[in-house]
Structure 1
Amino acid sequence: MTPLLNARQTADALPYPALADEIQALLRDPGVVVPPRTVQPLAGGGSLFVMPAADARVAITKLITFIPDNATRHLPAIQGDIVVFDALTGQRTALLDGPTVTARRTAAVSLLAARLLAPRTDGPLLIVGAGVQGRAHLEAFQAGLGVREVWVASRSTASADALVQHARSLGMNAGRAMDADAALADCPLVVSCTSAQAVALRARPRTDAFVAAVGAFTPRMVEWAPEVCRWFAADGLVVVDTRDADHEAGDLLQAGIDVPALATLADVVREPPTHRRDRPVFFKSCGWAGWDLAAARCVLSGQAPQR
């Protein structure tokens, strides 16, 4: 029978360190094929995403909807599933909870980028945006990097307080950051995962900072001020998750940065860049079905792959 994993079972099958390892292995796999995703606009301003991917053993299709204003309906913004097939027989082998995979694989990609690029990984960590991605990144950086201190900035006091309490339940020192720009001075690890409807960060991070910019995944979305992005491009290192960012990385595109000239995470995995460790790093994440394929591979393997 085909395993039908609910949200909790999907999360349990995707521990962050193992998932980050699988993502790294996938980026070294020449057999991975990821066609462009289809984005179908929906009535009311939402979108339906159809995202296939395959390797020599596994094929997946991710079917999710993104409805930005679903909070007003007391519903999650992202809903859907990931269907997993055996690439040789065509049999369905698993059905995974789409929002859970999306949250965990996105945070695991940021974790891998931090492992490879962050000038320092001990924290403190600043999380800007206390929604699903804020929680996932908190857990990923705690599990994968051993971060012990986190500060949370959010427009919602209730959401920020809830994430702070969750961090404390994990044994972390945690508190609310009343001013995200001011908190940048004290945090070498930064994750921005806001709704990206307007600029949320205008100050320059530390010169030894690693930033994972997650919220903006369309050309019109934005979290970071253009002048800060241009500062990263001039004085630091800017890396994108995949070449899809060439037309999706809103923060960078609105700053007038030549995104196609930037290195991708796959480039970093294959040939780590030589950059001064006292320079800031800006990692722009937009999403890719390959990450969902890595999650399916991780679930099917049932254990962390060998590096």
Structure 2
Amino acid sequence: MPFVPSFASSGLLDAAATAARLPWSELADEIAALLQDNSMVVPQRAVLPLAQGGSLFVMPATDQAVAMTKLITLTPGNAGTGRPSIQGDVVVFDIATGQRRLVLDGPTVTARRTAAASLLAAQRLAPVPQGPLLIVGAGVQGLAHAEAFIHGLGVREVWIASRSRASAEALAAQVQALGAQARVVPDADAAVPHCPLIATCTTGKAVVLSAPPRPDTFIAAVGAFTPAMVELAPGLCQHIAQHGRIVVDTSDALHEAGDLLQAGLDVAALPTLGDVVRDYRNAALKHPPGPVLFKSCGWAGWDLAAARLALRHGSPALAAMESVTATPA
């Protein structure tokens, strides 16, 4: 009987197998390493509008050993149908041979690399990294950020605000299963004084947070990634710009960070997460205390970091090759 390769042995990984290769702290560390790698090339992503309001995202990136492209669809019309809004794959190639090595589950990579980037920012910038954590939005990114901050920062208490009480309670149950305390709150703004960690993880259709933060607050805002999208009130962004610090994930935020653009801020003048990572030792001396906003819009570099880590967990030989060929800053 001929051998028939299994789903996993063929390099096609489902959601669970993809997640298993992307542990939270290791993925945050891989993102930090990638930001210091001069060999990476990350073109601007292409976004093709689809009929009925959907979008196709094409996001390639490469270093000296690995090439990858993420192909995902965003279908807002799937909300409430039982079908996921984000679907697709991350295809990973070995540059030396041209071989396709992995096909990772796209939504899983998107969820985990986004939350891992927030985790890295919180590790470097959050004044009170242990929380409590307020999560606004109880969907996939809400859960991913809860997991990342519980495992990566040791958060033990999570407050959850969502337009859907049922979704908030479902997330609370998942948080409790992770060993942390959870409470559902009806008003995100009312919870702000109690939570020095905040993650806004909504669909970016409307302002969900407007209360002035505590001076020791760290906010990761990940739901708005076009100029028309918004989660944070303009006044909140302006308050943090005046009294604290705003860091964007990459320079692409110049034309993507709806929260900041609608607040009239000079996004081009803001530091990036790469700047923070490269200048980590001096950052605390240069910037006085105050609230910190990490504005994340998404970037194929994070997907490349996930691809590198997934390969290292599954292919020691290729991982060793990459460690030799990568060129750190």
Same fold (TM over 0.5): yes
Contact 1:208/1:277 (<8 A) preserved: no
1:86 shift after superposition: 0.5
- Spell out the pairing of 1:206-217 with structure 2 (5 A cutoff): 206-217=214-225
Give, in whole Å, the separation in 2 of the partners of 1:264 and 1:68.
29
Give, in whole Å, the separation in 1 of the partners of 2:77 and 2:286.
41
Distance 1:156 1:30, change over 3 A: same
1:286 aligned to which of 285, 288, 297:
297
Amino acid at match of 1:144: G
Q: Give the secondary structure class of the aligned counterpart of 1:123.
A: coil
Contact 1:188/1:208 (<8 A) preserved: yes
Bigger Cα displacement from structure 2, 271-280 vs 244-253: 271-280
1:89 aligned to which of 69, 84, 97:
97
Please report the RMSD computed on the Cα atoms of aligned residues, expressed in angstroms.
1.6
Amino acid at match of 2:77: D
1:275 shift after superposition: 4.6
1:142 aligned to which of 150, 156, 159:
150
TM-score by length of 2: 0.91
More strand by share: 1
Contact 2:200/2:222 (<8 A) preserved: yes
2:198 aligned partner: 190
Residue 291 of structure 2 corresponds to residue 301 of structure 1: no
Give, in whole Å, the separation in 2 of the partners of 1:165 and 1:134.
13
1:257 shift after superposition: 0.3
Offset from partner CA, 1:233-255 (integer Å, 9 cap, x none): 11100000001100000000000
Amino acid at match of 1:297: R
2:51 aligned partner: 43
Contact 1:2/1:92 (<8 A) preserved: no
Task: Show structure 1 runs of 4+ deviating over 2 A.
Answer: 272-278
1:69 shift after superposition: 2.5
Give, in whole Å, the separation in 2 of the partners of 1:76 and 1:277.
42
TM-score by length of 1: 0.97
Q: Give the secondary structure class of the aligned counterpart of 1:223.
A: coil
Contact 1:10/1:100 (<8 A) preserved: yes
1:239 aligned partner: 247
Where does structure 1 lack aligned partners over 5 or more consecutive residues?
A: none
Where does structure 2 lack aligned partners over 5 or more consecutive residues?
A: 1-8
Residue 173 of structure 2 corresponds to residue 165 of structure 1: yes
1:170 shift after superposition: 1.1
- Spell out the pairing of 1:228-267 with structure 2 (5 A cutoff): 228-267=236-275
Q: Give the secondary structure class of the aligned counterpart of 1:8.
A: helix
Offset from partner CA, 1:139-160 (integer Å, 9 cap, x none): 0000000000000000001100
1:195 shift after superposition: 1.1
2:81 aligned to which of 73, 78, 100:
73
1:178 shift after superposition: 1.4
Give, in whole Å, the separation in 1 of the partners of 2:237 and 2:77.
27
Give, in whole Å, the separation in 1 of the partners of 2:79 and 2:143.
16
Q: Give the secondary structure class of the aligned counterpart of 1:133.
A: helix
- Spell out the pairing of 1:176-187 with structure 2 (5 A cutoff): 176-187=184-195
Offset from partner CA, 1:241-290 (integer Å, 9 cap, x none): 00110000000000000001000000011113235563100000000000
Larger radius of gyration: 2
Give, in whole Å, the separation in 1 of the partners of 2:244 and 2:286.
8
Contact 1:119/1:277 (<8 A) preserved: no
Amino acid at match of 1:159: S
Give, in whole Å, the separation in 2 of the partners of 1:223 and 1:105.
20
Contact 2:244/2:288 (<8 A) preserved: no
